[in-house]
Structure 1
Amino acid sequence: MKLVPLSDRVVLKQCEAEETTKSGIILTSSAQEKPQEAEVIAVGPGGMVDGKEVTMQVKTGQKVIYSKYAGTEVKLDGEEYIIVRQSDILAVVE
Structure 2
Amino acid sequence: MEETGRNQQLGRLIPSLNRVLFEKIVPPSKTSAGILLPEKTNKLNSGKVVAVGPGTRDRDGKLIPVTVKEGDTVLLPEYGGTEVKLCEKEYHLFREDDLLGTLHD
Same fold (TM over 0.5): yes
1:26 equivalent in structure 2: 37
Pairing 1:84–2:94 present: yes
Q: Is the 8 A contact 1:15 1:35 kept in 2?
A: no
- Measured after TM superposition, the shift of residue 78 of structure 1 is 1.1
Quote the Cα distance in structure 1 between the aligned partners of 2:41 and 2:22: 20
- Measured after TM superposition, the shift of residue 70 of structure 1 is 2.0
1:44 equivalent in structure 2: 53
- Measured after TM superposition, the shift of residue 47 of structure 1 is 2.4
| One-letter amino acid of the counterpart of residue 57, structure 2 | M
Q: RMSD across aligned C-alpha pairs, in angstroms?
A: 2.7
Which structure has more helix as a fraction of its residues? 2
2:103 equivalent in structure 1: 93
Which structure has more strand as a fraction of its residues? 1
Aligned length: 88
Quote the Cα distance in structure 1 between the aligned partners of 2:54 and 2:83: 20
SS in 1 for 2:97: helix
Q: Percent identity?
A: 31
- Measured after TM superposition, the shift of residue 54 of structure 1 is 3.5
Quote the Cα distance in structure 2 between the aligned partners of 1:62 and 1:54: 19
SS in 2 for 1:87: helix
| One-letter amino acid of the counterpart of residue 85, structure 1 | R
Which structure: larger Rg?
A: 2
1:9 equivalent in structure 2: 19
Tell me the TM-score normalised to structure 2 length: 0.69
SS in 2 for 1:7: coil
Task: Give the ranges of 4+ consecutive aligned residues of structure 1 lying more than 3 Å apart after TM superposition.
Answer: 24-28, 31-35, 51-54
